[in-house]
Structure formats: structure tokens, C-alpha cells
Chains A and B, each alone.
Chain A
Amino acid sequence: RKEVEQDPGPFNVPEGATVAFNCTYSNSASQSFFWYRQDCRKEPKLLMSVYSSGNEDGRFTAQLNRASQYISLLIRDSKLSDSATYLCVVNGGGSYIPTFGRGTSLIVHP
């Protein structure tokens, strides 16, 4: 079983839609969680950290469910500029090495 799993998509949604991605992780000792965004042919960039209490940044909401070992990202009122690949990242559990998911592709169309 892969350590961090994501649905690769693509998720094809119209502008204004709400879309949600999930990411599951296998290491119950994981301590920190992040969502990154990667545009085509660019480096990944931090979108937001995921806290136990959940956190919101504008149209983006991230949630952590430790019991079920998954994190989620909700994007409201999708914009064309949200089209990208969203990477789930899990850190900790005694390792220096963050574990990346393969990414979920989002395409927002007019």
C-alpha cells in the first residue's frame, strides 16, 4: 500500500463549482500535513498547512481526520486559475523525508 494516496483525477469542473479532494495516509505517527499546488512545468508551491482543528484561507478549506487518516481540501467558487495539480504532503513519524502523494489534477473550464 502506498504511504500517501490521492485520486489522480482529472477533476473537470465548471467555474463557480465546489470541488473536494481527499488524501489518505498510512503512517499513524504522521505529525504535519500540507497541500501544495503545482502548475504545469513549475515547482510545487505551498498552498496551505492542515491543522487538527481545520483551517480556511479564502475559498480554500483544509481538514484533517486523524482517526480515519485522511486530509481533505475543499475549493469553493472555482476559478479558471485554480486549474493545477494539488499535492498532498505528510511529514513526521520519525522521518526527515516528507511523503508526497502523486497529485490530483483539477481542470476548471468556462
Chain B
Amino acid sequence: SQTIHQWPATLVQPVGSPLSLECTVEGTSNPNLYWYRQAAGRGLQLLFYSVGIGQISSEVPQNLSASRPQDRQFILSSKKLLLSDSGFYLCASFSRTDTQYFGPGTRLTVL
């Protein structure tokens, strides 16, 4: 079965600082990978997805970017964080059985 690793678990950053969140996947190859954000008490918002190395699709225009330098690595970045970037960031992988698995998430607070 798949395992998704995300770090850090919790992050507090000042407005205007950069961001880098990393996600790695074990137990599968060539997965579709996804970044979601969940604001407090809200549903999941898809930010980016990737069907392969170097292939990134953006769902929501914003100051975030994503990269996929390796098959099982997905990175979410920002050059300058905004207050509105606060939230729970989840990395997910789409398995061969058509099921999504989620990492444990990173809780980001921008102050």
C-alpha cells in the first residue's frame, strides 16, 4: 500500500517569507500527485496536480507554485506568503485502484 510523507507537520511563518513544503510517496510508481488546501471549517480546495515529472497543472491562480522534480516527490512553494495562505495543506496520491491517499498534512499559520 502507499505511504505519503509530508513535512513539517506544523509551520508558523511571517507574512512575506518564503515557503517550501515537501511531499514524498512510497509504495507506488508514476502516481498522480495533488496539493490541496483546507481552510478552517471548510472543504478541500485543489491547488495543483501532476501526472508526471515536470508536469504541473494549476487549478487556482495564486502566489503559490508547485514542482515535481522526481517521480515520487512533489513540492509546494511560495516566494512571499500572504495571510490568506494560512491553512491545512494536504498532499495526495491517486492509486491504481482509483483511490486517493492523503499525507498527514502541514498546518501553516501565516502571521
Contact = CB atoms under 8 A, between A and B. Distances in A.
Given A96-B49, A97-B49, A43 B102 contact: yes
Interface size class of A (residues with CB under 8 A): 20 to 34
A25 interface: no
A14 B105 CA distance: 31
Q: Which secondary structure dominates chain B's binding surface?
A: strand
A43 B104 contact: yes
Interface in B77-99: 88, 90, 94, 98-99
Interface string B21-64: 00000000000101000000011101001010000000100000
Contacts of A87: 44
B25 to A, nearest CB: 14
Interface residues of B, number: 21
Given A41-B107, A100-B43, A89 B102 contact: no
Contacts of A103: 43
Contact of B101 (A46, A49, A100, A101): A46
Contacts of A89: 100
B44 A45 contact: no
Interface of B: 32, 34, 42-44, 46, 49, 51, 59, 88, 90, 94, 98-105, 107
Interface of A: 31-32, 34, 41-46, 49, 87, 89, 91-92, 96-98, 100-103
In the A-B complex, list the 4 residue pairs whose CB atoms are closest, starting with the nearest. A102-B43, A43-B102, A32-B98, A100-B44
